[in-house]
Amino acid sequence: MIALIALTYLAFGLLAMSMFGHFREAMGRAPKTLESQLLYVSGWLTLLMSLILCVTKYDWGYGSILFFGLMTLAALPVVLQLSYASRSLPKTLILAPVILIAGWFI
Amino acid sequence: MTWLHTWVGLLVCWVLLLVFFAGTLSYYRHEISLWNQPELHKEVFQSYDTTRLTEQLSQGEDYLRQNAVNAQRWLIEFPTERHPMLSYGWQQPPEPGQRRGAFSEHAVKADNSGYVTEVRESRGGNFFYRLHFDLHYISAITARWIVGFCTMFMLLAIISGIVIHKRIFKDFFSFRPGKGSRSWLDAHNVSSVLALPFHLMITYTGLITLMIIYMPWGILVNYDSDRREFINEARPGSSFTRIAAANEAAPQLPLASFLPKVQQTFAELPLKSVSVINPDDANSRVVVTFNTGEQVTERELFMVFSGTDGELLYSADNDISAAKATHDAMMSLHTARFSGPVLRGLFFLLGLSGCVMIASGTLMWAVKIRQKQQKAISQGAKPSLGLRLVETLNLMFILGLPLGTVAFFYANRLLPASLPGRSQWEVHSFFILLVISGLLAIWRRDKAMWRAQLAALTAALAFLPLLNALTSPANLLSNFAAGQWQLAGFDLLALAFAALGLFAFKRLGRLPMKQTAKAQKLQAVRG
């Protein structure tokens, strides 16, 4: 479960970073086009991966409902970080895969 | 479209806030009920144990035969995740003029050394569950029509909201605090969009849960105005359990003797309860209900036997029609009975975001209208009636609802157990606080009043765990140590909300009125 939360958070963080304004707030510079595109694609792929994991682990019915709930839970800290501490977002996004892997093995 | 969104939203938003608020709390209905019965906080917790079923059944049977004389129904409930105790209950036949007879329930101590028989009278989480669609003080049918009407408005507001919000993806993560009505719009957008699938689902399925009331004609035409016949056909098992007593004593087979048959059919499912209708009567029926755990279903899975000869009369059929399966899926999505602890927490969070959506929407309206009238107001004119009305209702419902809820919990612990109509007085306390909050808001609704009510709420929430420790045999630390998460979670949530309240209180104090958006949003989180 921890891994799933970290993964979905990562997905929304990447998607937020793929947007011009949010990238600039978080990194202090404008993103290159390629960077934006990479973040965008990887964000969507990560989100898709989260859905697949939910469904394989919890079956279609329960898993898909859980996935919708997780999306809200995961997007909320991204919004709060961008509002109050935008510089922290890149750091926590690097941390997320670590938590993901740790959560996976617990 | 903007006009439509504003007015369908504003007209019914306070009823909707009440419905969303009570509905959100209902996700923890059983946990609240348990908290409201401190007599059960010690000695009774146990988990389901397949090896002890036979023993528990025969013990319950003996106990009920002795203690529940002339009962209309026995109910033996096995421990489940959310009802972690074994209990023996029974229902008396209704007195003249009553629809249902009185129900009593005795919990078995976990070490089987005795029973907890004296439990205070409280409606617990069921109050919020009922409030959520039956309201209170008015007839249930009237209330359901009102709630249905408001829900239809909600659906309109959500759909028109999606249409007028042209930047759903561009503003997906945008919340810009400290910018007056702009921040309110952001808060409204974020709380709506992040949980949009939930809002749509819960509103639509809310209408579905009561569709037979709102649109009965199809059934009335096809079943010759006989609703009962439709229900019998839609829920085939229910007709077997509604049988009247023959008033003729007849020996009943021991309950444990039904176990092998039950386990043959549904070997993998744990039992939730065994009930006996018309015990020791020629028409006795034994109903075995299963715990469906995390299956996404709302259907009660049960088997019905004849109590005198053990004949199987009905067994739930997994093979249901597409229409029924669709209806069942929608109902279960709404009530989320299947949720494990994490998913339940998520549903609670989604419900809260619905409350924020409604509260931020109506606060935004008030902020905007006040801005418009600012010039006239500073020249000494009175704010318009509409603005005063909206501001009063905002304060009354956004802070009054949580204040009332906390009052309900305090009343639960402080009212004497012998008070006649005790459970009703708990409910009255809820509404008394709501009304006090409203009266104060009529008198004043400036920042000082928001802060005063917020301070009262925060303090009351922060002391809830202390109140629990003083009036229950267990407390936060002991529950924590014992892994009793339902009770510990209640106290922890109270503390978390108190922390949010404190944060909002401080924000409101620090910032001038124009820049209080962020703080007020946090208040909204609580509502």
Q: What is the pLDDT of residues A21-52, one digit of tens each?
A: 999 989 889 999 999 999 999 999 999 999 99
Q: What is the pLDDT of residues B78-101, one digit of tens each?
A: 999 888 999 999 999 888 888 888
On the question of pLDDT at B234 being above 50, the answer is yes
Chain A contact set for B191 (CB, 8 A): none
Q: Could A79 and B176 be called an inter-chain contact, meaning their C-beta atoms sit closer than 8 Å?
A: no
pLDDT at B525: 55
Q: Could B350 and A69 be called an inter-chain contact, meaning their C-beta atoms sit closer than 8 Å?
A: yes
Closest CA to B488 of B500, B497, B475: B475
Q: Could B173 and A82 be called an inter-chain contact, meaning their C-beta atoms sit closer than 8 Å?
A: yes
Confidence of residue B229 (pLDDT cuts 50, 70, 90): confident
SS3 B272: strand
Q: Search chain A and give the residue with CA nearest B189.
A: A79
Closest CA to B338 of B276, B290, B291, B273: B291
A69: contact with B, CB 8 A cutoff = yes
On the question of pLDDT at B518 being above 70, the answer is no
Q: Could B173 and A75 be called an inter-chain contact, meaning their C-beta atoms sit closer than 8 Å?
A: yes
B269: contact with A, CB 8 A cutoff = no
Does B240 or B385 have the greater pLDDT score?
B385
Q: Could A83 and B172 be called an inter-chain contact, meaning their C-beta atoms sit closer than 8 Å?
A: no
On the question of pLDDT at B513 being above 60, the answer is no
Beta carbons of B358 and B12 less than 8 angstroms apart: no
Q: What is the pLDDT of residues B452-500, one digit of tens each?
A: 999 999 999 999 999 999 999 989 999 998 888 899 999 999 999 999 9
Confidence of residue B321 (pLDDT cuts 50, 70, 90): confident
Closest CA to A40 of A23, A21, A24, A16: A16
Q: What would the 3-class secondary structure string for B398-433 be?
A: HHHHHHHHHHHHHHHHHCCCCCCCHHHHHHHHHHHH
Q: Search chain A and give the residue with CA nearest B293.
A: A62
Q: What is the pLDDT of residues A51-96, one digit of tens each?
A: 999 999 998 889 999 999 999 999 999 999 999 888 999 999 999 9
Please, which residues bridge with residue B103 across strands? B91
Q: In Å, how far is B176's CA from the nearest CA of chain A?
A: 6
- Identify which of B173, B295, B342 has the shortest CB distance to residue A1: B342
Confidence of residue B514 (pLDDT cuts 50, 70, 90): very low
Confidence of residue B515 (pLDDT cuts 50, 70, 90): very low
A1: contact with B, CB 8 A cutoff = yes
Q: How far apart are CA B271 and CA B49, in angstroms?
A: 10
SS3 B312: strand
Across the range B356-375, mean pLDDT stands at 91
> DSSP secondary-structure letter at B245?
P
Express as a percent the part of chain B with pLDDT over 70.
97
pLDDT averaged over every residue in chain B: 89
Q: What is the dihedral of CA B459, B464, B467, B473, to 10 degrees?
A: -160
pLDDT at B521: 56
pLDDT at B517: 54
Q: Could B343 and A65 be called an inter-chain contact, meaning their C-beta atoms sit closer than 8 Å?
A: yes
Chain A contact set for B195 (CB, 8 A): 72
Q: Which residue's entry shows tokens 């910018």? A: B179
Q: What is the pLDDT of residues B418-464, one digit of tens each?
A: 889 899 999 999 999 999 999 999 999 888 999 999 999 999 999 99
For chain B, how big is the Rg over CA atoms in Å? 26
pLDDT at B522: 57
Please, which residues bridge with residue B90 across strands? B74, B104
Across the range B293-315, mean pLDDT stands at 87
Q: Is B224 left (phi over 0), alpha (psi -120 to 50) or beta?
A: left
On the question of pLDDT at B281 being above 50, the answer is yes
B343: contact with A, CB 8 A cutoff = yes
Q: What would the 3-class secondary structure string for B338-398 be?
A: CCCHHHHHHHHHHHHHHHHHHHHHHHHHHHHHHHHHHHHHHCCCCCCHHHHHHHHHHHHHH
Q: Is B198 exposed, middle or buried (0-12, 13-18, 19+ CB in 10 A)?
A: buried
Q: What is the pLDDT of residues B179-219, one digit of tens each?
A: 878 888 999 999 999 999 999 999 999 999 998 888 888 88
On the question of pLDDT at B527 being above 50, the answer is no
On the question of pLDDT at B347 being above 60, the answer is yes
Q: What is the pLDDT of residues B375-429, one digit of tens each?
A: 888 888 888 999 999 999 999 999 999 999 999 999 999 999 888 989 999 999 9
Confidence of residue B512 (pLDDT cuts 50, 70, 90): low
Q: Is A43 exposed, middle or buried (0-12, 13-18, 19+ CB in 10 A)?
A: buried
| ipTM of the predicted assembly exceeds 0.90 | yes
Q: How many CB atoms lie within 10 A of CB B65?
A: 14
Q: In Å, how far is A39's CA from the nearest CA of chain B?
A: 15
Residue B392 tokens, joined: 């009063």
pLDDT at B378: 87
For chain A, how many structural domains are there in total?
Answer: 1
pLDDT at B100: 84
Please, which residues bridge with residue B312 across strands? B305
Domain of A13 in residue numbering reads as 2-105
Q: Could B194 and A75 be called an inter-chain contact, meaning their C-beta atoms sit closer than 8 Å?
A: yes
Beta carbons of A20 and A30 less than 8 angstroms apart: yes
Express as a percent the part of chain B with pLDDT over 90.
58
Q: Which residue's entry shows tokens 């039904």? A: B258
